[in-house]
A and B are shown apart, each in its own frame.
Chain A
Amino acid sequence: MINLVRNEMLKLLRKKRLYVIILIIAFLVPLFTYAQFKEIQDQREKMGNQDWRTTLQQEITDTQNRLSSSRIQDEWRKFLKIRLSQQQYYLENDIDPRAPGAPTFMRIFVENSIDLLLPLLVMVIVADLVSSESSGGTIKLLLTRPVKRWRILLSKYLAMLLSISFIVLSVAVLSYGISGVVFGYGGWNMPLLTGFTVSGDELLTENVHIVPQWQYILMEFGLVWYVCMIVGTLTFMLSVLLRSTAAVMGIMLASLIAGAILANMVSSWESAKYFFMVNLNLTNYVSGMATPIEGMSLGFSMSVLAVWGIAGFIVAFVTFSKRDIY
């Protein structure tokens, strides 16, 4: 099996797709870094020459005032207390919450690329994994070896797993390494709030707690990897079913973009939440953004994705081992 996976990796590397992906990331990261840098400058200008410590101190006082009011609900009080300790941490440790370090940039970058950019990059790698063998005719040589068909497909799947992990890892390394030049490499221990839940229009704060940024980033990268694996598995299935790589890319591209559009307009069409493409934005649950459709939660979205992924995996393996090759 290791030999088979090595074969697949050799073919993948020789096709140079991975290099292209790395180049794309290496090109985009400085672009976004610059955009982020401009935004921070802009914010600073708006605040005038006021020192950020003064602003933060004002916010803290404001929160303390609200806490001392007797009319607020218990739950809200708890949330405010957490906010307060976060703000105090920033002040005590001399962290400007609006001047992010490289880890913050990393976090913002993956949060924004989880539903479209990264799935697209994954798609570029996976789309022709099987279909290129069919259209190039090499599948005939591959399947007339003393190796069972499912083992050949599994070796391709494992190669996909390795390359996806590699892509996610290089996103992390490149975004940290490149943005750090501008923002500095510190900020791993900056406290962040997580644990929000959304019910109806309300943002529930009862489970909110503080985690250090490194833990937060680790969580988000886990989710990113998961999303990439699901998108990869579905692309893999299409690659088995279709001979044409262009068709595979077309279908995947259409559904990913449809997902991005749907997420903005389906709040009243409830059953749309079972589509895989509206569930890709898993990091939103961590940061506490509103969900596109009511009743969606981290667990729900992960399960929907898992069902799609498992179904795609089964379809791919069953068709591949039964199919007649012409």
Chain B
Amino acid sequence: MSQTPALEVKNLTKKIKGKQIIKGVSFTLVPGEVFGFLGPNGAGKTTTIRMIVGLISPTSGTIKIGGKNVRTEFTEAMRHLGCIVENPELYPYLTGWENLIHFQKMDSSIPKTRLNEVIELVGLQNRIHDRVSTYSLGMRQRLGIAQALLGKPKVLILDEPTNGLDPAGIREMREFIRQLARDENLSVLVSSHLLSEIQLMCDRVAIISKGSVLRTDSVDNLLAEQERVIWRAEPIQVAKEILSMETEVTEGPDHTLITLYNEPLLPDWNEKLVKAGVKVKEMRTQLPSLEDLFLEVTGGESID
């Protein structure tokens, strides 16, 4: 891709009180993609995001937003950025409209007409002149997104965007994020510890654990690599013996056996089973959940 990356993070490190919290994180976001940032709580997701948005200064490494260095060209870099870090904390004693006006005044390049655009985009027309303290969490989340989109950013950073939303809200948010990436060519960085979320929302994922990125790849690739075959055969003990001579076998739930997916060898394995008089009732491939993948990549570190 010859485009300049929307967001470029290179060798980012952070030391707090002599302790290395972030150990050389690098990744790039191209325009129009949704990038997932996946890791357990305490892996360093939020610290990394806070460094990207300029709230924490990195110990070393560079961050470029739309080609502008966050450290040396702060104001230019921030023009291209919209973010919600953790909860969308707005001024509860102001109305939604006043909150937006407040942030619009902080950037002279935003015309007032933009306010109505973003309010319509997040669908808050009816309640915009009410105080934020009367808003539900979902409405605050939407107002949070409205303020993030105010400056027509190239990069949108959402830290745990579905936190505290009900299932309908989560679904709505997911579609909204996909739509923004598609229609406005926005790059979105989404962090989450919810694997299913990332799987449904993102094009690419970085798996982060203990301050370093373990893998960065597209969701499809990562999953395909770990594709499995589920066998249901009788008698199961015989089938297991035969298969374990060929490959690694684990016992799955409901009297099933699980092996790796290996397309060229699969017919052979099947033939051997049949010849030994094993009745193969079912043979199907399965994509692992990102959860399995995560355990695999981190070596069994638990996620909550």
Partner of B98, one of A4, A10, A143, A324: A10
Among residues of A, the one whose C-beta sits closest to the C-beta of B47 is A326
B100-108, B238-246, B253-261, B280-288: which one contacts chain A? Answer: B100-108
B54 at interface by CB-CB < 8 Å? yes
Complex: A143 Cα to B56 Cα, angstroms: 11
Question: Which of B83, B85, B106 has most chain A Cβ within 10 Å?
Answer: B106
Binary CB contact string for chain A from 287 to 326 against chain B (1 if under 8 A, 0 otherwise): 0000000000000000000000000000000000010111
Contact B87 A137 (CB under 8 A): yes
How many contacting A-B pairs (Cβ < 8 A)? Answer: 79
A140 touching B85 in the complex, CB below 8 Å, given contacts A7-B105, A325-B50: yes
- How far, in Å, is B83 (CB) from chain A's closest CB? 5
Indicate if A145 sits at the interface (CB-CB under 8 A): yes
Which residues of B line the A interface, CB within 8 A?
50, 53-57, 74-76, 78-79, 81, 83, 85-87, 89-94, 98, 102-103, 105-109, 147, 151
Contact B106 A147 (CB under 8 A): yes
Pairs across A and B, CB under 8 Å, 24 listed: A3-B105, A3-B108, A4-B106, A6-B105, A11-B91, A14-B93, A136-B89, A136-B91, A136-B92, A137-B86, A140-B53, A140-B86, A141-B147, A144-B55, A145-B103, A145-B106, A146-B78, A146-B107, A146-B151, A147-B106, A148-B74, A324-B55, A324-B56, A324-B57
CB distance from B141 to the nearest CB of A (A): 14
Contact with B along A1-38 (1 / 0, CB 8 A): 00110110011001100000000000000000000000
Query: Is residue A138 within 8 Å, beta carbon to beta carbon, of the partner chain?
Result: yes
A85 to B40, CA, bound (A): 84
Which 8 A/B pairs are nearest by Cβ-Cβ distance?
Answer: A137-B89, A146-B78, A3-B105, A325-B55, A324-B56, A146-B75, A145-B106, A144-B53
A122 to chain B, nearest CB (A): 21
Chain A nearest Cβ from B158, distance in angstroms: 13
Contact indicator per residue, chain A 229-265, by CB within 8 Å of chain B (1) or not (0): 0000000000000000000000000000000000000
Give the chain A neighbours of B76 by CB distance below 8 A.
146
> Within the complex, what minimum Cβ distance (angstroms) separates B157 from chain A?
9
CB nearest neighbor in B for A142: B106
Contact of B75 among A4, A138, A147, A322 (CB under 8 A): A147
